[in-house]
A and B are shown apart, each in its own frame.
Chain A
């Protein structure tokens, strides 16, 4: 009986309205923060504010505060694995600069490609000639 009524009597218009104003306020903050140049911290600030907003939505609009813990566990597990995905992606991308073509320096001092190996300068390929028919073999 107690759990049944608990699942009904959570939240309330006052909390929801307060949550809406908090979310709108954070939206203004995130737009304002983007107009300043914090360098690479801008992305982190934007994502941090977005995460606070997403948490507010999950906790109050999606009732996780008052819900059975199993739903929170599922939600946290989802975000946890997304975090692992993002983290390894970040580790990969930030440590492979030397491999990206855009960062390669022109190879001015390298040995030039000989004309015979350069497809742009090499003579046009000969037209296809069928191989002479092999002589018939007698056994």
Chain B
């Protein structure tokens, strides 16, 4: 158990007969316990998909209603790079989240193969990347707050191209803050969960026989990444 193996022996037979301290009595085997937890996690993931799905449908409806205003409003999410508008914050955050997904799955892999130090290292890198994501989000939000690009009745941006009597801009930023904000809360929750995992991994809780929490939080983290994969083109790139 304590040896660091890069490849799990395919013949199995490690620790199957001794009682694992994490084996709950109402499960016949550790494998059954793992599969049950994973099934529950996937059901939760479906509820997450439907939660954000509803918001995407609302966004689509309003984009159809205010097509011109939505396109004009989304230009505010871009920055001028060499004279050309480019969604810098959004693009960098996409890369940060994709790389963090990779460090997460590498952490899961390290936990599966009894590499304790590697697990901790990958989890800590994932936490750091999540923090980078939130810092960029903070900078982005501060600019929006400063420019009065706020949701609903708080919208106070005085652009020349503002069409009088339309709620398109207000609506766009309502959806923008609602959806990226809800996603940001998910990232925050992810940081808390990953910190808990890193602590437990450092204590040596996870082995190839028991790594369920790492795997399930990994699934959660990939869902957070997946939601951003849809948020990025819809908010930052629609033209």
Contacts and interface: CB of A to CB of B under 8 A. Distances in A.
Interface of A: 1-5, 7-9, 11-13, 16-17, 19-20, 23-24, 27, 30-31, 34, 37, 42-43, 46-47, 49-50, 53-54, 57-58, 60-63, 67-68, 70-71, 74-75, 77-79, 81-82, 85-86, 89-90, 93-94, 100, 102
A123 B222 CA distance: 65
A31 B61 contact: no
Contacts of B215: 63
How would you classify the secondary structure of chain B's contact residues: helix, strand, loop or mixed? Answer: helix
B73 to A, nearest CB: 16
B42 A57 contact: no
Given A4-B12, A86-B57, 4 more contacts: A20-B102, A31-B237, A61-B218, A82-B50
Contact of B208 (A3, A8, A67, A82): A8
Interface in B4-58: 7-13, 16, 29, 31, 34-35, 38-39, 42-43, 45-46, 49-50, 53-54, 56-57
A34 B239 contact: yes
A50 B232 CA distance: 9
A17 B237 contact: no
Interface string B220-232: 0010011001101
B217 interface: no
Contacts of B222: 57-58, 61-62
27 contacts: A1-B16, A5-B8, A17-B102, A19-B102, A20-B99, A23-B98, A23-B101, A27-B232, A31-B87, A34-B233, A34-B238, A34-B239, A46-B234, A46-B237, A50-B230, A57-B101, A57-B229, A62-B218, A71-B38, A74-B39, A74-B42, A75-B42, A77-B46, A86-B60, A94-B64, A100-B65, A102-B65
A4 B33 CA distance: 12
Contacts of B61: 89, 93
Contact of A68 (B35, B95, B208): B35
A89 B57 contact: yes
A42 B49 contact: no
Contacts of A50: 229-230, 232-233
A7 to B, nearest CB: 7
Contact of A86 (B34, B46, B53, B219): B53
Interface string B101-113: 1101110010010
Given A9-B10, A34-B237, A43-B238, A27 B91 contact: yes
B46 A1 contact: no
Contacts of A75: 42, 45-46
Contacts of B233: 30, 34, 46-47, 49-50
Given A42-B239, A57-B101, A5 B12 contact: yes
Contact of A82 (B53, B98, B234, B238): B53
B156 interface: no
B174 interface: no
Q: Which 6 A-B pairs have the closest CB atoms?
A: A78-B46, A46-B233, A34-B237, A82-B53, A20-B102, A5-B12
Given A27-B95, A30-B233, A71-B38, A4 B50 contact: no
Contact of A71 (B42, B106, B229, B237): B42
A93 B66 CA distance: 12
Contacts of B208: 8
